[in-house]
Amino acid sequence: MRRIALVIVGLLIAVTAAPAAATGTGNVPGEPLRDTNVGKREMVVTANPDATLAAIKVLRRGGNAVDAMIAAQAMLGLVEPQSSGMGGGAFVVYYDAGTGTTTTFDAREKAPAAATEDRFEGLGFFQAWQSGLSVGVPGVPALLEEMHDRYGSQPFPSLFWDAQRTAREGFAISQRTSDQVATLLSFNPSCEERIFFRDPAALEYFANPDCTAKPAGTIVTNRPYAQTLIRYGRAGAREFYKKRTARSIVRAVQLDPAIGGDMTLDDLANYEVIERPPVCIDYRSHEVCGMGPPSSGGIAVGQILGILEPFDLGNDPLDERAVHLFAQAGRLAFADRNLYVGDTDFVTVPVDGLLDKDYLATRSALITDADLGTASPGTPPGVFDPQAPDTADTESGTSHISIIDRKGNALSMTTTVESSFGNGVLVEGFLLNNQLTDFSFRPTDDDGTPIANRVQPNKRPRSSMSPTIVFDADGQVELVTGSPGGSRIIGYTAQSIINVIDFGLDPQAAIEVPHYGNRNGSTELEIPIPGVTLDYDVDALRTALENRGHPVSVRSLTSGLSIIQVDGDLLIGGADQRRDGTVGAR
């Protein structure tokens, strides 16, 4: 892979650049590692070079993992607005090296108090997405302040300096952002009749006067965003949730050009981040810890690993048997996920039962040499509510940050505005989310059985985000991983862990393995990308799987994995070139 080295005040930072032709899955045991992906003190991996650079600058000033995360998130909201920002939500898994404890923070968006179960009745997904009804109370601003209050070491306002300066002075629109704008604009009947970018401010920011997307490389400024960060940095979350920004959000939601929403100032003022226990499972003597409900990620990743543990996966991640086994584990995990998982403040989820070793052994026993077909959910031990399954999951406007600092603190954060560009409305320089479309559009099935992920007042919708930290047999941080990608996040994250633990690949090599998986439907195989993924005979693998009974689809699978591995005194990073991933190390 080709890399760019940046020297910042005498500090060498390794930043992954556009890829050159790939010749294999990357580094293999016993061969020299890529110098640009290795650090000895601390490391950051994000989906954008500007965000990685902002985080590394904070670390160099003496900041820690939480300080660096705040700087990275502030920058991502500016330069990667289709994926995350101050108008969205996030989940964090955090390891505190000083106390040796792991915890998680739930900053998922919440439905307004006025929300009812029939919120999206009669609406198609596009109509719901591009409306005020889709906006949940944002969680990111509360999360940044909460984590800084507990763990931060640098002055809060200083963590936004880079993003403020970049917003004022301007930055170049990325190819990825431009392409996504163009795609959404193409769905509009005309420039005057707009479904997407219906908000005039958003249209002016992202598009030319003729309603074509601003091309990659266009320099844009965002002074309203800079001012938002200045106010927020000085006054903290109370400015966002109770003062000017709150009033702007409520006005934009209620007066949405398509369908007005029902969010109020009280909804914003009452928002709270929730600290929750991590969801952990032992996998081949490694402890894998992720996010519990309302995320399905920690449970489903844990189930895939637990179901696979009795099997020897061999030594080739693209071997047809390994792909078959991974697909079967995915079928079984998603069958359980779709039935049981919702916001545990509203429904009873059998978290421990779903990860119980004996229960997972019964699920493993269902796997044969032939494809299972559509799997049915199991009956795990523990208490749970009678529910109907919900297979919907549309989360795609998402990003991921992985950080380890010099003290050994580790942070895995997945952050989102839900679909690409959230609900498309620009407020005070940032986009609002459309997170409530992650709820089931139906409250019950045809028989009247309630769905765990139905809309309810003040409820948090189910997510697939899977921020994960893996510990070795001695309890030391070994791997920090996670990805964007909607419900495929679960498979991407599980595959990254297996590629490192089972197949012995370094992080970049693990990322370069083409993706595959099954969400209890067709088995998906990734089209290989020259210079980005390992080349392989996708047609031969497809035929082999079809001979086992798999329905197979071959498609683009755009993950955004950010991986850090601890190997003795070294930190080894991997950044996903399917997006604009970069590694920063010092």
CA angle 415, 469, 280 (to 5 degrees): 105
Half-sphere exposure at residue 177, Cβ-oriented, CA atoms within 13 angstroms: 26
Q: How far apart are CA 526 and CA 543, in angstroms?
A: 14
Of 36, 398, 416, 533, the active-site residue reads 398
User: In this structure, how many other beta carbons lie within 10 angstroms of the beta carbon of residue 171?
Assistant: 18
H or E element, residue 268? helix 265-269
**C-alpha to C-alpha distances, 349 to 223, 280, 292, 296, 384, nearest whole angstrom:** 44, 15, 10, 10, 5
Amino acid at residue number 500: V
8 Å CB contact between 77 and 54? no
Q: How far apart are CA 202 and CA 79, in angstroms?
A: 14
User: In this structure, how many other beta carbons lie within 10 angstroms of the beta carbon of residue 362?
Assistant: 14
Q: Is 366 exposed, middle or buried (0-12, 13-18, 19+ CB in 10 A)?
A: middle
**C-alpha to C-alpha distances, 329 to 302, 332, 546, nearest whole angstrom:** 10, 5, 17
Q: How far apart are CA 254 and CA 260, in angstroms?
A: 5
Burial 499-515 (b: 16+ CB within 10 A, else e): bbbbbebbbbbbbbbbb
8 Å CB contact between 355 and 303? yes
Smallest CA-to-CA distance from 496 within 557, 487, 506 is with 506
According to DSSP, the β-strands at 101-107 and 274-276 are antiparallel
101 catalytic? Reply is: no
Q: Determine the length of the chain.
A: 586
Q: How far apart are CA 512 and CA 514, in angstroms?
A: 6
Residues 6+ apart with CB under 8 A from 509: 24, 25, 26, 27, 28, 499, 574
* E-assigned strand segments in 218-260: 219-220
8 Å CB contact between 573 and 563? yes
Smallest CA-to-CA distance from 69 within 10, 156, 138 is with 156
Half-sphere exposure at residue 44, Cβ-oriented, CA atoms within 13 angstroms: 31
Give me the sign of the Cα torsion angle 199, 203, 209, 210: negative
CA angle 305, 310, 311 (to 5 degrees): 90
523 token code pair = 């088995």
Active site residues: 398
